[in-house]
Amino acid sequence: SSARCAGVRERAASVTEGPRVTVPQAYRGEALGLPAAGPGSLATTGTRILAFLVDAIASGLVAALFVPHHGGASFADRLPGSWSLIPFAIDYVVGMLVAGRTLGMYLFGLRVVRTTPGVRIDLARALLRTALLCLLVPAAVFDRDGRGLHDRLADTVVVRG
């Protein structure tokens, strides 16, 4: 069949072309069309982590206002636990849709943008990115541009504001 022949041709072409060679980037974010430094350049991992910690702590404090304490004497008994994910998710989704940043990102001069210039982050991408970020695992898997899996799947990047 013609489909089978096409598949054979594609496999043969991939063998004869040899391995793909990638050109090293001069700086992180170059492949995304971002500047090397200054506004719009790729945010550093350390700054992103600090912004995340601010958001996590703020979310825990907000959740603690609403979660009843069960009279435990230890500090751990007073923590809101997983309830803090609710204000965290609200901060991320609303923050990305309204301002392109969360509270922590604002404090550290960061913002989230689409990799396609001039295109805003829509609700579906904000929800996807936030849901994956709440799992933490995608945020620990970085590519050569320093983007976590949650950013790659949502087609976003965190840049300096």
- Return the minimum-mean-pLDDT range out of 12-26, 79-93, 117-131, 139-153: 12-26
C-alpha to C-alpha distances, 83 to 45, 104, 160, nearest whole angstrom: 26, 19, 30
Average pLDDT over residues 94-117: 95
Distance (Å, whole) CA 96 – CA 92: 6
Burial pattern 47-59, b for ≥16 Cβ within 10 A else e, equals bbebbbebbeebb
- Return the minimum-mean-pLDDT range out of 15-19, 26-30, 92-96, 142-146: 15-19
Cα angle value 7/11/14 (rounded, 5°): 140
pLDDT for position 135: 85
Per residue in 34-78, pLDDT (tens digit) is 999 999 999 998 999 999 999 999 998 898 888 776 666 665 555
* In the chain, % of residues over pLDDT 90: 49
Q: Tokens 């983007």 appear where? A: 147
| pLDDT at residue 155 is higher than 60 | yes
Distance (Å, whole) CA 53 – CA 59: 10
